Amino acid sequence: MSDTQSLSPSRNDFAEMLEASMTARRDFEEVVVKGIITAIEKDVAVIDVGLKMEGRVPLKEFTAPGRESTLKVGDTVEVYVERVENANGEAVISRDKARREEAWDRLEKTFEKRERVDGVIFNRVKGGFTVDLGGAVAFLPGSQVDIRPVKDAGPLMNIPQPFRILKMDKRRGNIVVSRRSILEEDRAEHRQEVVRELNEGDTREGVVKNITDYGAFVELAPGVDGLLHVTDMSWSRVNHPSEVLNVNDTVKVKIIKINPETHRISLGIKQLQPDPWQGVAAKYPVGAKFRGRVTNITDYGAFVELEQGIEGLVHVSEMSWVKKNVHPGKIVSTSQEVDVMVLEVDEGKRRVSLGLKQCANNPWETFAEQHPIGSVIEGEIKNITEFGLFVGITDEMDGMVHLSDLDWNKPGEEAIKDYAKGQRVKAKVLDVDPDKERIALGIKQVGSDPMDSVGELRKGADVTCTVTSIESGGVEVQVGGEGGPKAFIRRSDLSKDRNEQRPERFAVGDKVDARVTGFDRTTRRISLSIKAREVAEEKEAVEQYGSADSGASLGDILGAALKERGGKN
């Protein structure tokens, strides 16, 4: 074998070299390498990546959105090698993927530290925008573009600006960013700086930026506003902020309170004016009458303005002497001027209680003057209840007839059945109470008391009665003549003779004499007994016409007594 042959590589050596070369190329794939730009052809850069290979990359991959390319031959750049050879024997390389790999590493560190990242909005997509973060593309939701909704995002596109990464998922290649959080942070920092310079009690000028149902937001400095509540706009009642303010109005306000934690600012306008409630008790003494204007009507009453900033409440119970359970809106109307009386003043609670009815004549007092107790009135039965009748005195006033004042003889529960709603009746005024707004009437008092028709009744007196009803337990009788009081004689009191104690032996219309055994004018109860009268007559006869030792029989004694009475008659 010659020396030349010994220097030639064997087939095994060539195979080993080929394998080593292939291994080196495989290790060269899917990595980021540094290359040198050897030429720029139209819109493509030719880059030498080593291993005697070149690749081509579009120039646009080297230029961020909104910027121009500054590449030139000889520049060193980083590219991502996808595979070593393509169909043309070149390396397939990408600047975008190199930037993406680099960007993901950088962005992950930024996300962990919760730092801001610069980016450029370069395209609009469904639900938001795409943002270039220096090689990685992120999604910017529409709700995260600005603090307030953005109608035109054109001025925000293709310009570098800071963002906050909200979420990263490298496996899926998803990044979500927010521009709004950056603006809120900046505004919060700016707000803190401005708030530090403000003090409670300061007076500032501001511009009304927004009006709501409960107040208005006033901008004291760019990005710093305070709430002017509707109750702090004026000492007078303000139903809606739009009554006194408009958007873009410049107003002078007083800083009422600053919350050190939330940095919220409460503002007031009325605090710049004198407090009208100071000394209000002396200015509006209880019992005095004033004229005011109705400013608001509610279910429970009406508010009346006595002067600017001073309102009092007329409760529904103090609106009318006679109109009860009526909505205040049916008695007064908004903006109506009315006369009111001061009933109570509480400066501490800023409350004034007013009365409307007190400025009009009290109809109950007027009625008492025109209809003294004992006078008779006539009216229509307005209502019937379980405890009596209500009789209309005027269109708006009623008097009550209690059950006990319906009839002298009948129980009230029975007597009330004789009356009907709408029936006209006469009644006597028994009592008038203006404070309680009550009038007591009596129907039975219009006629005479049956008790008076029989003269003076007393226990032991004998009376003549007329049988009016036969009952199993006795008989009902009318004492005296027609219209007299009624009483009941029990079966055991019908006769001293047991055989005669039979109610059926009497007939309606019979006249009987009986003795009063009990009488109570208050309860109007009369107790009568025929038996007691007979026993008393017998005793009297014995005393006058016989004695225990005379030997005369009881029949002889009674016969003599009856004979004498018959002779006298």
220-232 CB burial, b ≥16 within 10 A, e <16: beeebbbbbbbeb
Q: Which two tokens stand for residue 106?
A: 């950088």
pLDDT of residue 467: 93
What is the pLDDT confidence band of residue 3, given thresholds at 50, 70 and 90? very low
Residue labelled with tokens 């009644």: 427
Task: Supply φ then ψ for residue 340, to 5 degrees.
Answer: -135, 160
* Residue 341 pLDDT > 90: yes
The SS3 call for residue 245 is coil
Choose between 167 and 222: higher pLDDT: 167
Q: Which two tokens stand for residue 504?
A: 């059926």
Taking domain 198-272, whether its CATH number is 3.40.50.10700 is answered by no
Number of C-beta neighbours around residue 389 at 10 A: 26
Taking domain 11-99, whether its CATH number is 2.40.50.140 is answered by yes
Give the Å distances, CA to CA, from 129 to 117, 157, 180, 299.
Answer: 16, 9, 13, 54
Mean pLDDT value across residues 358-387: 90
pLDDT of residue 42: 81
Residue labelled with tokens 């002298």: 408
pLDDT of residue 553: 52
Domain boundaries 363-446, corresponding CATH code: 2.40.50.140
Question: How does the average pLDDT of the chain come out, rounded?
Answer: 83
DSSP code at position 154:
G
**Checking phi first, is residue 136 left (phi over 0); if not, alpha (psi -120 to 50) or beta?**
beta
Report which residue type is found at 497: D
Q: Which two tokens stand for residue 84?
A: 């070593």
How far, in Å, CA of 235 to CA of 238, rounded? 9
Listed residue (411, 408, 447) closest to 427, CA to CA:
447
Ordered by start, the domain boundaries in the chain are 11-99, 114-184, 198-272, 280-359, 363-446, 450-545
What is the pLDDT confidence band of residue 569, given thresholds at 50, 70 and 90? very low
Q: Which two tokens stand for residue 184?
A: 């809120």
Choose between 32 and 431: higher pLDDT: 431
pLDDT tens-digit readout, 63-119: 765 566 677 788 887 777 776 665 555 777 766 676 777 778 888 888 988 899 999
pLDDT of residue 275: 86
Listed residue (233, 192, 183) closest to 213, CA to CA:
233
pLDDT of residue 89: 59
Q: Is the torsion defined by CA of 299, 305, 310, 315 positive or negative?
A: negative
- In sequence order, the 6+-apart residues with CB closer than 8 A to the CB of 354 are 292, 304, 312, 313, 314, 318, 340, 341, 342, 343
The SS3 call for residue 1 is coil
pLDDT tens-digit readout, 445-494: 888 777 766 666 788 888 888 999 999 999 999 887 677 788 899 999 99
* Residue 34 pLDDT > 60: yes
Domain boundaries 114-184, corresponding CATH code: 2.40.50.140
Instruction: Provide the angle, in degrees to the nearest 10, between the axes of the packed helices 530-545 and 554-568.
Output: 100
pLDDT of residue 53: 76
pLDDT of residue 409: 75
Beta bridge partners of 462: 515
Our CA dihedral for 494, 500, 502, 506, rounded to 10 degrees, sits at: -70
Taking domain 450-545, whether its CATH number is 3.40.50.720 is answered by no
Q: Which CATH class is domain 280-359?
A: mainly beta
* Residue 425 pLDDT > 60: yes
pLDDT of residue 305: 93
Strand order in the sheet with 44-50: 53-58, 44-50, 31-41, 76-83, 92-94
Give the Å distances, CA to CA, from 408 to 424, 449, 473, 519.
Answer: 19, 7, 23, 16
The SS3 call for residue 454 is helix
Choice among 27-31, 32-36, 418-422 with the minimum mean pLDDT: 27-31
What is the pLDDT confidence band of residue 5, given thresholds at 50, 70 and 90? very low
In CATH terms, are 114-184 and 363-446 the same topology? Answer: yes
Of the chain, the percentage scoring pLDDT greater than 70 comes to 85
Report which residue type is found at 461: A
pLDDT tens-digit readout, 246-300: 999 999 999 999 887 777 899 999 999 888 888 899 999 999 999 999 999 999 9
* Residue 151 pLDDT > 80: yes
* Residue 185 pLDDT > 80: yes
